[in-house]
Amino acid sequence: MSETIAIDAELVERLLHELARYGAWGDTGVVRKVYTPEWVGAQQQVMRWAEESGLHARQDAVGNVWARLEGLEGGPSIVTGSHIDSQAPGGRFDGALGVIAGLVALRTLRERFGTPRRTLELVSFCEEESSRFPATNFWGSRAVTGLIGPDEPETLRDYDGVTIADAMRAVGLDPRRIPEAKRDDIDVFIELHVEQGPILEQQGLPVAVVTGFPGIRHYLVEVRGRADHAGAMPMDLRQDPMPAAAEMISAVIARAREIGRPAVTTVGRVLVEPNFPAIVPEKVSFTIDVRHPDPAALSELCAAHEETLRSIAQRHGREVSWRITTSHPPCSSDPELVQLFLDAAAEQEIPVTTMPSGAVHDAQRMAHIARVAMVFVRSVGGRSHTPAEFTTTEDAVAGIQVLTAGLHRVAY
């Protein structure tokens, strides 16, 4: 097969537009946190579309939606898809485009080539962003790979204190049944996703095949002091946690800047208690997000950050402590799959490159049970995790064409 596989651009645009209504935020944004009414609506919409496309759709015990195109030979599945939840607010492409891409790919393959040799499946993962529960760590793909601990449902809490078990029950899911979502019959997982960074734009290319994924560690740091009156307590007698926290934040970001690409460090969340102008704070908490594709370099950077926290706390005479809320080692795509998708892109005459991912993805979790690879499409201005996120329909269609041609090579 070396003919062009045409992708219906109008269909892609329509599905993106309609999916973005669930949790619409402003003109272009989406707030679709796991186990909320908007999330329920979006997953049901994906199931309807899948059924309309001739696939057999179901929701698993954790809330992932699966849609199946049974192959003649049976055997382990070739899966494509991404996550349905969003940042708060995020854009309409992150995750959603991968779900729609998988749907369009399977629909196109079925319409044009009929029943595949091997079974193809679409997955719409319930949760990837940790935008509601800070410590979910890829709830959807962890359920599929059997990596959710038995105590987690009743102990993980959202930013309002609701347990994830209660959130599941509120949408009709039984947290005790999470183990039933585990799969051991997946051979390949391919995820299409927006790049979320500026590399493809800088190179003038629409599509990349992803060679590997960064290691990531999330810290939740607490610096404790003593609340006092902002006027009556002299500077020299304060136990203000703020200057130590501010210095820590400056220092960890500065270190990642010095090291340069591909090291990154982000302080995206700060909470002050009690957070009033005329009160010296009792406590300052903040997150540190650290990423690096090289395991040794990631460990080294994290160790340096921890030493920074300790030494600044000591110099200021403040108490500091931290918890690691997320930790994933770096991992690689399957080299054969990478080559197969590069070949598919060449065959479709779509300009393509390879690159490591800066973001973490469900594919990293799926690598525990399957061979994985990813297809990235260009992000305008490299923007993501913001309503300003945008990818042109032309680039989305180019990515879906590569995905579809690659899946055709694997499954037909």
Does 134 contact a copy of itself by CB under 8 A? yes
- Residue 193 annotated as binding site: yes
Interface residues for a copy of itself in 244-283 (CB under 8 A)? 246-247, 249-250, 253-254, 256-257, 260-272, 274-282
Q: What angle do CA 154, 159, 165 make, to 5 degrees?
A: 20
**Dist CA 178 CA 272 (whole Å):** 36
Does 315 contact a copy of itself by CB under 8 A? no
- Residue 94 annotated as binding site: yes
* Bond prior to 150 in cis (omega within 30° of 0): no
**Dist CA 78 CA 113 (whole Å):** 16
Q: How many residues does the chain have?
A: 412
In the complex with a copy of itself, the residue whose CB is nearer, 59 or 384, is 384
Please select the residue that binds a copy of itself; options are 70, 222, 228, 343, rule is CB under 8 A: 228
Interface residues for a copy of itself in 368-407 (CB under 8 A)? 379, 382-386, 388
Give the nearest distance from C-beta 353 to a copy of itself in angstroms: 15
**Dist CA 41 CA 44 (whole Å):** 5
Does 225 contact a copy of itself by CB under 8 A? no
Does 70 contact a copy of itself by CB under 8 A? no
**Dist CA 310 CA 97 (whole Å):** 42
Interface residues for a copy of itself in 332-361 (CB under 8 A)? 357-360
Interface residues for a copy of itself in 110-129 (CB under 8 A)? 129
In the complex with a copy of itself, the residue whose CB is nearer, 129 or 191, is 129
- Residue 10 annotated as binding site: no
Give the nearest distance from C-beta 26 to a copy of itself in angstroms: 12
E strands, 312-370, where?
Answer: 319-328, 331-332, 352-356
HEC string of 54-108 equals CCEEEECCCCCEEEEECCCCCCCEEEEEEECCCCCCECCCCCHHHHHHHHHHHHH
Interface residues for a copy of itself in 86-115 (CB under 8 A)? 87-89
Output the known binding site. Answer: 83, 94, 129, 193, 385
